[in-house]
A and B are shown apart, each in its own frame.
Chain A
């Protein structure tokens, strides 16, 4: 690390975050150094418009090194009129989407990036609009110019595969099932997929800009509505970021409740996902069983918190309700669910036709997973033993005894088995949390938000690592809120996993990743 620290113009430490600002010449070198020499994982990369503070844009590149609890942030500051920065994608492929997103949202150009197309904004958005710049405002634009209006558009060119017998299958954005919108373009020979290009961001709702508008307190409600099935992880990470920024320590009791609910969220997602994979192989009885267990857990959520999606519980400084008063209900429901779940897994693993469909389908190699910065279940199924609960312990995870699982085969079967192992792990975490009692009230008293301060919040959601970064302006209002959902890292890996599989197996592969469109599209 001394190598980068020597080059740094400015350094700053806040809790476990180490910010190192480097010059434009050293930016790429520093990133490549930490990535290659220290084997670091690129967690996220984002830009900020800090022109109101000191007249510059900044690029933040966040790394974490295995075995080290700290987050290393390499910062590059850009002053107008120079609106370019050296792209790190040629060396660190995981940065490819982040850099395109920065170009779309801020108009900062990553020089040397292999893909010049837009990512987040579609053709209907007028060229030259950069929504996350502070001086950009929607009211100034004629709304009618969007969509089919006359404003200059930026057309999007799909990649084409040429050759004898290759044909294209376009799918979406409105799909056949009850799922979210996204466009997929398959290039296939017969039934075999040669190439798949997903085009996402149909559900782009301008969430990050909206966070800036509605303030920190109301932001909790918005963070719960970024991705439905990880509502609690999102709000927990967001609250953690704001709490760390203000130097607020939440009580042990609040930490225990958040840990418990994070595990309950993981439980209903993982069991639901294992059931959903059966829909991909046509095993109706497995699908129905998974759906029933999931419904049991959803109704438990409702009894505990009043919301089936664990919404409305988190607030900045703690939680609204004490769920430990429902200890008996929790114990009996979890026991019943454990029994049903074990029966379901026995049924699935004894059904050879189901297991055979899963084995060797949708293989994601360790090398590609590492290069693309894949996270969560997909990463652990491809041999990357990375879990935020262990890598950066937060809440009560530092005290709990559990081991993250990983498998090296990287196929759909591995992703199912990782979920199965994590389900059992979550059940034991819930049970051990229920054995103890915890000190303190529910909510810690809110402190004033210091001007121009920033901090990260993170957690391991059912889909993988999740990050929030918040920064306040001079009045203690949000200057920038960056969110990075796990699906954003995993979507680029899907085309690699389905390569060489048959088109009818695509839904199965897709379900084994179970990615959120809304979380990714922001």
Chain B
């Protein structure tokens, strides 16, 4: 551990690469390096995300949870999931927005301080997915609150979510 820290200080590399034995290619890891620099620049070193489940099947939530496990360890990029919308820069919304969650989602959105970003994560959040046109859903986040970024997948893999967040940064930095 101490070795790793010293190595990072000497080589000025901020990001510890993904551990071996897992399915993440070196190119993806390299993208991650550049990812952190931009989070430093745009968000002052910390991007805080509030995850809101608005009717998802729970697969997207588990992939977000997996992002915080020791393998993906998203905190090393300066990104973390926070407990309150008041602390958040961005809302990550999953699920087709069930009618019974619509009001709660609107209130959560209003409780998030501006400027705020909204990320629609998963096929359901994009257009209702398989649940499209059911009587109890509103067919996607964009029908309830404005969306800045879409991450497709059912569910998107943890790496998929990281790549999606990179795209969001690309958009913000105009790259």
Contact = CB atoms under 8 A, between A and B. Distances in A.
B90 interface: no
Contacts of B71: 291-292, 295
Given A179-B53, A308-B157, A202 B100 contact: yes
B98 A173 contact: no
Contacts of A209: 134-135
B141 interface: no
Contacts of A303: 23
Given A201-B100, A291-B69, A292-B71, A176 B55 contact: no
Interface string B53-95: 1111111111111100111000000000101110000000001
Interface string A332-353: 0000000000000000000000
A-B pairs, 3 with minimum CB distance: A228-B59, A176-B83, A291-B69
B145 interface: no
Interface stretch (A28-36, A186-194, A218-226, A390-398): A218-226
B76 to A, nearest CB: 14
A311 B153 CA distance: 12
A180 B56 contact: yes
Contacts, number: 141
Interface string A199-221: 00111111101100110000001
B104 A203 contact: no
A207 B134 contact: yes
A298 B66 contact: yes
Interface string A219-241: 00110011111010000000000
A305 to B, nearest CB: 13
A213 to B, nearest CB: 8
A307 to B, nearest CB: 9
A502 interface: no
Contact of A202 (B61, B81, B101, B157): B101
A210 B100 contact: no
A299 B23 CA distance: 8
Contact of B101 (A203, A206, A229): A203
A518 B134 contact: no
B7 interface: no
Interface in A152-186: 173-174, 176-181
A309 B154 CA distance: 9
Contacts of A298: 66
A207 B98 CA distance: 11
B99 A517 contact: no
A147 interface: yes
- With most chain B CB atoms within 10 A of its CB, the pick from A210, A231, A292 is A210
A180 B58 contact: yes
Contact of A206 (B54, B61, B103, B136): B136
A138 interface: yes
Given A203-B95, A311-B154, A518 B56 contact: yes
A274 to B, nearest CB: 15
A226 B135 CA distance: 16
Contacts of B62: 228-229
B61 A180 contact: yes
B98 A205 contact: yes
A173 B61 contact: no
29 contacts: A124-B100, A125-B99, A176-B83, A178-B61, A180-B56, A181-B104, A203-B56, A203-B100, A204-B98, A204-B136, A205-B134, A206-B136, A209-B135, A213-B133, A221-B130, A225-B154, A228-B59, A229-B59, A229-B62, A231-B57, A291-B69, A292-B69, A292-B70, A292-B71, A294-B69, A295-B22, A298-B66, A299-B22, A309-B155
A222 B98 CA distance: 16
Contacts of A124: 99-100, 103
A122 interface: yes
Contacts of B61: 178-180, 228
B119 interface: no
Contacts of B55: 181, 202-205, 518
A516 B104 CA distance: 19
Interface in A284-304: 288, 291-292, 294-295, 298-299, 302-303
Taking chain A's interface residues, is the majority helix, strand, or loop, or is none over half, making it mixed? loop
Given A177-B83, A229-B62, 19 more contacts: A173-B104, A178-B51, A178-B61, A181-B104, A203-B98, A203-B100, A205-B131, A207-B131, A213-B134, A228-B58, A291-B69, A292-B71, A294-B66, A295-B22, A298-B66, A308-B63, A309-B59, A518-B55, A518-B58
B108 interface: yes
Given A225-B154, A228-B61, A181 B53 contact: yes
A122 B58 contact: no
B127 interface: no
A131 interface: yes
Nearest to A308: B157
B152 interface: no
A208 B153 CA distance: 23
A209 B129 CA distance: 16
B60 A228 contact: yes
B96 to A, nearest CB: 6
A210 B134 contact: yes
B157 to A, nearest CB: 6
B155 A147 contact: no
Contacts of A205: 55, 96, 98, 131, 134, 136-137
Nearest to A222: B130
A46 interface: no
Contacts of B85: 174
Contacts of A228: 56-62, 155
A420 B70 CA distance: 22
Q: Which of B63, B99, B100, B131 has the most CB of A within 10 A?
A: B100
A146 interface: yes
B58 to A, nearest CB: 4
A227 B65 contact: no
Nearest to A183: B104
Contacts of A148: 103
Contacts of A174: 52, 85, 104, 108
Contact of A288 (B69, B108, B134): B69
Nearest to A518: B57
Contacts of B58: 180, 227-229, 516-518
A180 B53 contact: yes
Contacts of A294: 66, 69
